[in-house]
Structure 1
């Protein structure tokens, strides 16, 4: 019984570490794309925050530092509570 429990525990640890790596890779992708997107922003920390939120939800960030939102419809269509664009 102890061997079975140890085996199951080991398999769970290996699987959880692989899922963590996958989620971290997605976060790194968003960080780099948002860094490019917000390179010329006046309030860079706020731009990076909202771009990161939009990237995590939509899994894409438009190219360039402004515009090109047609490349990512989800990113383009996210609105804040006042009905304005949420994503920079």
Structure 2
């Protein structure tokens, strides 16, 4: 009987300790996602200039990228691909159903 009470008390103490650790971790290290970083305004001109630096039609690429960047506040890294890292950027389409953002 005394052993079961001791076990129950220790389980309660351990659960409170784990709860405290998880709360402390969340307050110190919030998750860093692309959506969380949307609060900061990015430099669309610089990001799109780099994104379109290897495009054959740079002016067209920069115009489309700039529009997408202003709407989504996100430009995928690199000169091509990686669009899944910016879901809003990835999901922009033209009236014809093609991807709008380079």
Question: TM above 0.5, one fold?
Answer: yes
Pick from 50, 58, 62 the counterpart of residue 76 of structure 2: 62
**Could you tell me how far apart the structure 2 residues matched to 1:46 and 1:78 are?**
16
Q: Note the C-alpha offset of 1:70.
A: 1.1
Pick from 4, 28, 31 the counterpart of residue 45 of structure 2: 31
Work out the number of aligned pairs and report it: 62
Structure 2 unmatched ranges of 5 or more: 1-40
In the TM superposition, structure 1's runs of 4+ consecutive aligned residues that sit over 4 Å from their partners are none
TM-score (norm 2): 0.59
Question: Could you say what the CA RMSD is over the residues aligned between the two structures, in angstroms?
Answer: 1.1
Structure 1 or 2: larger helix share? Answer: 1
Structure 1 unmatched ranges of 5 or more: 1-25
Aligned to 2:99: 85
Q: Which entry has the higher C-alpha Rg, 1 or 2?
A: 2
**Could you tell me how far apart the structure 2 residues matched to 1:33 and 1:63 are?**
8
